[in-house]
Amino acid sequence: MSDAARRTLRTIVQTVLGLAAATPLIIDAAGIPRTAVGVGVALAVAAGITRVMALDAVQQLLPKWLRIAPPNTGTTLPAPTPSTGDGGAV
């Protein structure tokens, strides 16, 4: 798969997932009652997709280029110094 095709596919997947996560907000902003036909199903599907995609097991199944980046746990900010309170910055 070419790099351009990979970027395009990743953008499409991210857009779909972003819209799924934003569906409740979009429905509220549009003023559509949550009791309308199909709205409940759309909200349930959106919630299901976003919850499943957040699972570690699903992340391991995805290709490496589509996974969520692991949190950066190796870097920490220096503790504030008692005299300046600015973390040691000069």
pLDDT tens for the chain, 90 residues long, are: 777 777 788 778 878 878 887 888 888 888 888 777 788 888 788 778 778 877 888 778 877 777 766 655 555 556 656 655 555 555
pLDDT for the residue 75:
57
pLDDT value of position 72:
57
DSSP secondary structure letters along 26-59: HHHHHT--TTSTTHHHHHHHHHHHHHHHTSHHHH
Q: What is the model's pTM? A: 0.46
pLDDT computed for residue 82 by the predictor:
60
Residue 89: predicted pLDDT: 53
In this predicted model, what pLDDT tens digit does every residue of 55-81 receive, in sequence order?
888 778 877 777 766 655 555 556 656
What tokens were used for 9? 């596919």
Cα-atom radius of gyration of the chain, to the nearest Å?
Answer: 20
The Cα 3–Cα 40 span in angstroms is 38
Separation CA 18–CA 22 (nearest Å):
6
